[in-house]
Amino acid sequence: MSNIIGLINYGIAGNIHSIKKAIEKAGGIVKIVNTKEELDNVDKIVIPGVGSFKDAMNELQKDNLLEPLKEAMKAKITLGICLGMQILSKLGFEYGKTDGLCAIEAEVKPMLVDAKVPHMGFNSIDVVKSNKLLAGLEYEEFYFMHSFEVVNYTNIASLTNYAGHKFVSSINANNLYGVQFHPEKSREAGIRLFQNFIAL
């Protein structure tokens, strides 16, 4: 069985090359996806993203990837990274209200915390619902860089504490996974996470 990982290339995917390199280091085969046809020919999907929720959704629409991606995610194992996890939600509130991919019952709101935002640097995750993506990574630290958070109550896989504020750092709903942190910047722990993803 082939195990080709499709990395969605839309205008806002600023971290795409470092993610590609990290997945390849973990032993994966990566194809950059720019069109619906390319999306049809991959086995798994990774949605990267750096920037704003509104821009991300506009870019997917502009690149004619929005509806094909929604359809493909129903059947293919999908991982959203940082903004890529946030847009799995129903709604985002960055620069106004924007519809997301509606894959999980969640909203994306500004982090209201008595500390510096964006939340940047290495932080630990507290696994509240174990899954195969996070297997063996329960005590690891990952690299975060974000000002917004996913507010969700049903699909939480891990939480992270920042200045006394707990936020959702990863989600899992059937074949969908999302991580608020950047595995591609998280050294060995990130490579192990990608190895787990490849093995799903």
59, 94, 140, 184: which is the annotated catalytic residue?
184
82 is catalytic: yes
**CATH domain 4-199 topology:** Rossmann fold (3.40.50)
Question: Contact 49/20 with Cβ under 8 angstroms?
Answer: no
94, 119, 149, 182: which is the annotated catalytic residue?
182
pLDDT tens by residue, 28-77 = 999 999 999 999 999 999 999 888 999 999 999 999 999 999 999 999 99
pLDDT tens by residue, 84-105 = 999 999 999 999 999 999 999 9
Helix (H, G, I), strand (E, B) or coil at 91: strand
User: Which residue in the block uniquely carries the two structure tokens 């329960």?
Assistant: 138
Domain ranges of the chain: 4-199
Which residues lie across from 127 on neighbouring strands?
A: 158
The CA-atom distances, in angstroms, between 160 and each of 5, 134, 178, 179, 196 are: 27, 14, 14, 11, 20
184 is catalytic: yes
Q: Which two tokens stand for residue 5?
A: 């990982």
pLDDT tens by residue, 3-14 = 999 999 997 766
- Rounded distance between C-alpha atoms, residue 44 and residue 31, angstroms: 10
